[in-house]
Amino acid sequence: MHSKPQDPLAYLRRLGEQAAARCDIAMAALMLAVLDHPERALAPYVDHLADIAAAARHELTLLRQVEDAAQVLARLLNGAFGYEGERTFYDAPHNADLMSVIERRRGMPVSLGILYLHAARAGGLGAEGLAAPGHFLLRITLKGRSLGLDPFNGGNVIERLSGPPGLAGRLLADTPAGQPVDDVEVLLRLLNNLKLVALKTGDRTRALVVSERMGLIAPRRPELWFDIARLQEARGSLGAAKKAYETVLRHAQPGAVLHNEAALALAVLKRRLN
């Protein structure tokens, strides 16, 4: 059995400090879920991720064609492990909570995509998330050839991303929807689903908690700190809001709209504090 690697906040803080393009993305998502379920034993979930990785290594390592790799990934995650897209309660928070996703074998595109990335990388494939508005996709690469996959729909191949593309392939490659994103961006997308649900239901306290986790794993993103500042200010935590606005100013480009907005908001806030 695996033991808890360390305190989840320390794990996630170090992830943010490292600012690496790639990380152990499934473990990071699990650490985010632990923050909401501190009473649960972590070992069964870590063991499950290890089982996925072991199966992927066994099935993928000797493959030579990316098309075969895509089929194997789908057969593993959708077939052997039983993961499917949650269609009935799509926006439910548990669909963005990796512990709940593992328990239920149901999730939203980004949470399922994290498991696909985990399996693909364990099996020696190149794998990265793609910036697809409104729907998370991923790209796997083997021997210089790539395919796009849809983790929400059983790992279906969506479009060839390299080689001689047709018009659809060129469109996918040349637009933001075809651009790879780093792992922290994927995790931010996971958290943003939780934040949006909280805001939609009027739970600003929960929205602030999730926003602070976003700032923890991406501490140099000024737009995240601006959201934190606004939420802190709305709940009357003016000192915390002041610190968040100051963090925006440290990381935003001077003269940029966000920098100017934060400077103005901070000036108004200081008058309130005085």
Do 36 and 97 lie in a common domain?
A: yes
Helices (H), 151-237: 167-174, 183-200, 204-217, 222-234
Domain boundary among 127, 159, 183: 183
pLDDT in tens, the chain (274 residues): 444 457 999 999 999 999 889 999 999 999 999 999 999 999 999 999 999 999 999 999 999 999 999 999 999 999 999 999 999 988 899 999 999 999 999 999 999 999 999 999 999 999 999 977 778 999 999 999 999 999 999 999 986 444 433 333 333 444 345 689 999 999 999 999 999 999 999 999 999 999 999 999 999 999 999 999 999 999 999 999 999 999 999 999 999 999 999 999 999 999 988 7
Residues 113 and 161 in one domain: yes
**In terms of domains, do 87 and 152 share one?**
yes
Residue 28 lies inside a defined structural domain of this protein: yes
Examine residue 203 and state whether it is found in any structural domain, yes or no. Answer: no
* Whole-number CA gyration radius for the chain: 20
* 244 and 172 within one domain: no
Residue that terminates a domain, selected from 183, 210, 245? 183
Residue-range definition of the domain harbouring residue 254: 220-273
Is residue 255 one of the residues assigned to a domain?
Answer: yes
> Which pTM value belongs to this model?
0.90
| CA atoms lying within 13 Å on the CB side of residue 155 | 24
Does residue 228 share a domain with residue 160? Answer: no
Indicate if 100 and 229 belong to the same structural domain: no
Contact between 105 and 81 under an 8 Å Cβ cutoff? The reply is yes
DSSP code, position 123? T
The domain total for the chain is 2
In a domain, 213, yes or no: no
